[in-house]
Amino acid sequence: MSGHHNLSLKVLIGTALALGVLTILTVSVAMIHIPSPFNIVVAISIAVVKAYLVVMYFMNMKNDSKFNLLSFGFSILFLLILVGFTMLDTMFRVEVIPGF
């Protein structure tokens, strides 16, 4: 089909290797005790990098229409809105009956 960007073998294998390394990193980092909440920040950051690689290279987003990237971005944004606004409630309730 015209106008396509074919996948490159080198890029695909390189991405897979990078993902493997990052997985090993994820597990290693979990073995070290990092004080909360930074342990979560580190774990999520590595996961985000891995997801980025999958999206950009395996899913070929790098060469794809900007609209698809925008859609993907919106899904993450609205997920954050769901969590964020709900936590405005769940994290700020006053204890009516202590210890319940």
Contacts with another protein, residue ranges (CB under 8 A): 1-4, 6-7, 9, 12-13, 15-16, 19-20, 23, 26-27, 30-31, 33, 36, 39, 43-44, 46-47, 50-51, 54-55, 58-59, 64-65, 67-68, 71-72, 74-76, 78-79, 81-83, 85-94
CA atoms within 13 A on the CB side of 69: 12
List Cα–Cα distances, 77 to 47, 56, 80, 81, 86, in angstroms. Answer: 17, 18, 5, 6, 14
Least separation in angstroms between residue 87's CB and another protein is 6
Tokens of 17: 């290797």
Least separation in angstroms between residue 18's CB and another protein is 10
Q: Which is nearer to another protein, 93 or 98 (CB)?
A: 93
What value, to the nearest 5°, has the Cα angle with vertex 56 and ends 54 and 67? 125
